[in-house]
Amino acid sequence: MHLAIIPLISLPLSVQAQLYPASLSQITAEDFFKQGLEYTNRSNFKAAIESYTQALRLNPNLAAAYLNRGQARLELKDFQGALSDCNQALRLNPNLTLGYLNRGNVYYFLKDFNAAIADYNAAIMLNPYLADAYLNRGNARRNLQDIEGAISDYTKAIEINPNLVSAYINRGAIRSNLADFSGAIADYTKAIEINPNIAEAYYNRGNIHRLQNSQLEAIADYTKAIALNPNLAPAYLNRGNAYMTLGESQKAREDYTRALQLNPNLANPQKEIPPDNSSSENILIPETSPNTAEEFYRQGVEKQQQGDYQEAIAFFTRAIELNPNYTDAYINRGFSLSALGDKLGSMADYNRAIQSNPNSENAYYNRGIIRAQLGDYQGALADFNQAIRLNPNSANAFNNRGLARSTLGYLEGALEDYTRAIQLNPDLAIAYYNRGIAHFARNQKQEALADLQKAVQLYEKQGNKIGFQRASEKLRELKNK
């Protein structure tokens, strides 16, 4: 069963929030809210929850923060916490469409399908064109054996969004159970046309081919499903059955063996298995499908945060195979490659990220860092220019552009960039350090010493031992010159 990914609500702010806010005395609830969005978009749900919580401490009436914190809690399967947040969001804003949709999803996971349907009804009443609400209501209705209602909802979801793959797959599963095989095949085929990388669609269509005694077509579909999801045990079992029907007993035994390795609870296949013993139950799209690009990306982020860059690269690569235009997967794989010392591989991924999304600030920013590390400061400068154009409130981008300018001899421009970085983030110790070096290069010793002293203080306050040591040594060095 697929519960649609719920879009986040963004507040209409004129200033883009910083990932590292200016100072605790200046940061606003909206800043924390947008920080939460940043973390959510990176699938760092624990950090997102903390940011939304900080926003609510400053503004307890921020309904969108409750809504998005509830979604993050739902992602972490904290159903009671998610339910509480949705309730609070709706108390503050009874016309919050996504509040009903999200709360309906929580009730769905809690298996309170009637309550889920009531919330989906409310969401549809507020927005009759919300395809996800029809999709999810169809899922709930199917669990209550309201088959006609489920088909009606899936059909309506498809009318609103003709590219909603899960609606086709779930409607196809019901049609198959009703022996409407031509309708089911049409749904699975359409799902595959929209997204050819969903194993469940091939598996389910293969089952229908088996029932229609089209063994070769069934084998082709099972084989494709296995290629997309090598751990799909029923696909091996049913492909083995198809091979056995065709008299290819050796291939059948190999598939049976693999099926049992993956799932020992499957019915133990014998040399001859009649078709009615097949594992022919249709697979519905689960709430977190293990072979979606998004799920592989999420696992990659988790591995990256743990410092396991090799595993992270493997997950990001799988995500990219399923979605060749997955910008964030390229960016994060590039970061992991860089962490392992593969600068050129990292550069290639940032290039691909920019090709897939020419407006990705992070892609330009990260590529700029790699270019600087490779000694291409002109290229780095160009990338930081682009990053700043896309996000003129990025203190880190100004700091790094200042470093590139300084290296190229543009000291005045470098000083301007460091100063702007400090204005945006007065706690950015590295900007004070770099500005101090630039001041000294211009024979402005007192300004240099003041900046380095500030860097030392900030590094110490922030517990950055390496930065503290480096800044302290540089301060002592310049005092003696």
Instruction: Write out pLDDT tens, residues 45-76.
Output: 999 999 999 989 988 888 888 988 998 999 89
Contact 345, 354 (CB under 8 A): no
Q: How far apart are CA 186 and CA 181, in angstroms?
A: 8
DSSP for residue 277: G
Contact 415, 438 (CB under 8 A): yes
Structure tokens that stand for 202 in this block: 């091939």
pLDDT tens by residue, 412-461: 999 999 999 999 999 889 999 999 999 998 889 999 899 999 999 998 88
Which of the four pLDDT bands, split at 50, 70 and 90, describes residue 266?
A: low
Q: How far apart are CA 151 and CA 131, in angstroms?
A: 14
Structure tokens that stand for 352 in this block: 């691909």
Which of the four pLDDT bands, split at 50, 70 and 90, describes residue 282?
A: low
- Helix-then-strand count for the chain, H and E: 25, 0
Contact 228, 202 (CB under 8 A): yes
The percent of residues in the chain predicted with pLDDT above 70, rounded, is: 89
Average pLDDT over residues 122-147: 90
Q: How far apart are CA 288 and CA 298, in angstroms?
A: 11
pLDDT of residue 416: 96
Q: How far is CA 187 from the centre of its chain?
A: 27
pLDDT of residue 381: 94
pLDDT of residue 320: 86
Average pLDDT, the chain: 84
Q: In this model, does residue 138 exceed pLDDT 80? A: yes
402: nearest Cα among 387, 390, 420, 389 = 420
DSSP for residue 318: H
Contact 174, 142 (CB under 8 A): yes
